Amino acid sequence: MEASAQAARQGISQKTRLIRTASLIALIGNALLAAAQIGAGIYAGSLAVIGSGIDSSTDVIIAIMALAVARIISRPADEGHPWGHGRAETMATAALSFMLFFAGAQLIISSGRGIIFGAEREAPERYALIAMIIVIAGKSLLAWSQYALGKKSGSLMLKANAKNMSADVLLSAGVLAGLGASMFFDIGVIDSWAALLVGLWVIKSALGIFLEANAELMDGGSNKVFYKAVFDAVKSVGEARSPHRVRMRRIANFWDIDIDIEVHPDKTVSEAHDIACKVEAAIKERVENVYDIVVHVEPSGGAGNTENEGYGLSEKSFQADS
């Protein structure tokens, strides 16, 4: 158990370093891009470019928030947080989704007002095009860095940010196309329509990020592949039977697993404990980043009453759902 705890602490430490690195890259990169977009948008008279700059500004806030989260999750478990502080990352991810949602909604309102009331607008100047080409290149590099570091650290927050920046690349390409059409046809309202589509895209991304974070906060959404790995692990230990009340939840990038198994009723407490340890070791061979496993041992024949329980999966119910 001590070795497992030590491995978990080392994993959290490495994850913290990677989150800090990714956050600093995102902070500096997005600050430069946001300043370029907003400045070019104001100078060139493009609402879509200004809106894209506002979206990049939220990315700066996200990066600052990620730095704070990295500091929080590095703290060890304490009396008030016996499971550690890993869920701070999930909470930050949910907060990120709300920030994106309101940024997108504000952009929709601003652009929609001009479209509905038919405000006269001149086509933006070419400086807006140059700014968006630079932004597309910069966002592509930032999205790649966030994804690579998110995959290496297993950070849900970094992966969400990478998804957000990937959406920004497509968003920026849409703005670029809108700008080109607005200048080619000399119709300023096209820029407003491009801004409206940008806002809708931002809201769509926000909802996707929120649903992913919410699944973790509700201790749900676990991939069936992981449950299958747990049941296969129990099968590999010949003296362990009838795995049931299996529950898996994520705490940041780590798994907390509870499981009940049955052993022959003639086994001594020591023998049953050894079987439970074998089950625990078998699970850790098949599931990466296990934070903790609790194996509850029952005498054979007790699993028949578990079907009506309100929580956990048995192998029978898992196969029925698959």
State the Rg of the chain over Cα: 25
Quickly state the pLDDT bin for 20 (edges 50, 70, 90).
confident
Query: Is 245 in a helix, a strand, or coil?
Result: strand
Q: Give Cα 185 to chain centroid, integer Å.
A: 41
Percent of the chain with pLDDT over 90: 7
Q: What is the pLDDT of residue 270?
A: 92
- Alpha-carbon dihedral sign for residues 121, 125, 127, 133: positive
Lowest-confidence pick of 161-165, 172-176, 208-212, 309-313: 309-313
Select the more confidently predicted residue: 268 or 83: 268
Assessment of whether the complete model's pTM goes beyond 0.75 = no
- Alpha-carbon dihedral sign for residues 266, 269, 275, 279: positive
Tens digits of per-residue pLDDT, 79-122? 666 566 666 767 777 777 887 787 778 778 767 766 675 555 55
Domains for the chain: give ranges and CATH numbers: 2-217 (1.20.1510.10), 224-321 (3.30.70.1350)
Query: What is the b/e burial string over 70-82, where b = at least 16 CB atoms within 10 angstroms of the residue's CB?
Result: bebbbeeeeeeee
Summarize the confidence of residues 256-283 as an average pLDDT.
90
Lowest-confidence pick of 23-37, 117-131, 142-156: 117-131
